[in-house]
Structure 1
């Protein structure tokens, strides 16, 4: 009874949470497989995704404008790849799916027509309202709740949170008094947004900064204790390792004059190790960042959102008491830590009352589970292995 987890590389918020779900199921002894939508796209269209990633990093206004352009993702699909995948699912009797991207629903609709038995499908929403891919899908297909179970991971305006995606690492959630006076600053998986504009002010507020770089970025000053990190620029979400599995992004600290040593962990993305020890995350309010915030007990200082769905993410997180806008934090709280500790405590308190999504999924679907010892090995990639 393999659980098929359907992800997308259009943003890491549609990808890394899927790998975290897969890791959680693996720890329960439940077989699962992660698939990425770009692998059923035409190579030419997949190249356009890469081009967009670079353009959005360089100019946030281009990214914001792209959301207004309706796209029919079906035109980018490779017909042979689609039919081969559906035939494989049918031959293996796949019935259990967790879908993180609306693009996959077109294939699920095709598969549903071929199957005699009912499918068990969770549409796992990583935002507080529909992101563009879900909006465009629902304009074409209408309501989805009749045929699919809709799971809003963070709840919605009138629905509280009832589950979360757990992240299991070498350390539990770090108490606030043991955390460093540092902030993690990034622009999500694609390096989008206004995060670079606030680095100087954050330094002046007395924080050390852990700054995520992106393709083409170079490390800056280190005089105020700045540290720099980067995902392997050659890595793509649609790539697979030698075992045919998708992995978390290879990650490394970047130091001037030193060769990066990219590492990865099979159970979580290594950014989590930084998130656990800082006072707050400073970022646009993407769904993947919210998932990490809740699992690590680390509040978010929100920068300009990427569209309406991320604006709703920020409003919901502030409603729960888990985050603040950058302007509010600076103007009303002077960029201080007292309010950050209050939000950390609220995150921990609410987290204790919820069970993880994989535990709920296993119980709801009646999946046989046996706790797995797992492999806590951290991998360091050589240049040959990365390519």
Structure 2
């Protein structure tokens, strides 16, 4: 309420008018203030008829230009600076030898600031100029994220000599310990007002990136799944940063893998599969890789548990047959193309994994045979 009052009463162009108070009951005019006094802006003044002369300026710039409060000292660090294409974007053209206070801000804070902007509604995305700036910053920060990910994957830590952790976007650790609450609020806003806006969806999808620490990724996924808006996120190729950053390395967090399966069996992923959302691509890639790849680091008990859940769901929901076949036939896009005979061998291997996961359960073994038969029919 206070934010709304501040925005309407102080961040809009005010129109001064001369008001003469009516005579009091005693017939005397109200006394006027001296010339040295400041003009006041009545709280109940009607501003509906005010006009903005700066037609070429976006509303954000007009608000700053006409407000009666001083600019904050950190204004030049704002990621949504509306001076031309933004100070952030202009700093990217500077030589790496030139010091820049904007560059010294960690990418995690830059990504967070873009998200914070959306908590105030869709206004920044509804205006063409500010939308262009926002989209340009998303692209720029995506590039910075890719550079950081590649750099960390190759540079060992000086203390141990081991490679840096892939999960370096520690929103919960570096920004606030209750960041999951922020994520829930952001997703709630996204579900309520975005109507699947591409740029808004890209910003939400960044929290599913493999560089984001696991608790935040899990919070983002659960919020999207519970709100039944997994399908509103854009396809992987339209997300910020490279696709590999969302898919590699293969997910091994038990909580996140179980959340993927839960969304699958509850039907929360059905429309995401139809629309080709990044959420369905993530589930296909990570579940297929975890269940079917012969990796010594994979927990056998967890692999069997996930496979059983999917097979039980298939036995109850025949409409999920297509999803199961996609899971079995999924080909990791980061591996070398395989000849047909190797693909057939890989398919047989995957059915073997499913058979082993059944652990002798007769009803589940029947479902595996049904899947084999269905796959032969579509080939």
State whether TM-score is above 0.5. Answer: no
Larger relative contact order (C-alpha < 8 A, sep ≥ 6)?
1
Write 1 or 2 for the structure with the bigger share of strand: 1
Write 1 or 2 for the structure with the bigger share of helix: 2
Answer with 1 or 2: which has the greater Rg: 2
Using structure 2 for the length normalisation, give the TM-score.
0.24
Using structure 1 for the length normalisation, give the TM-score.
0.23
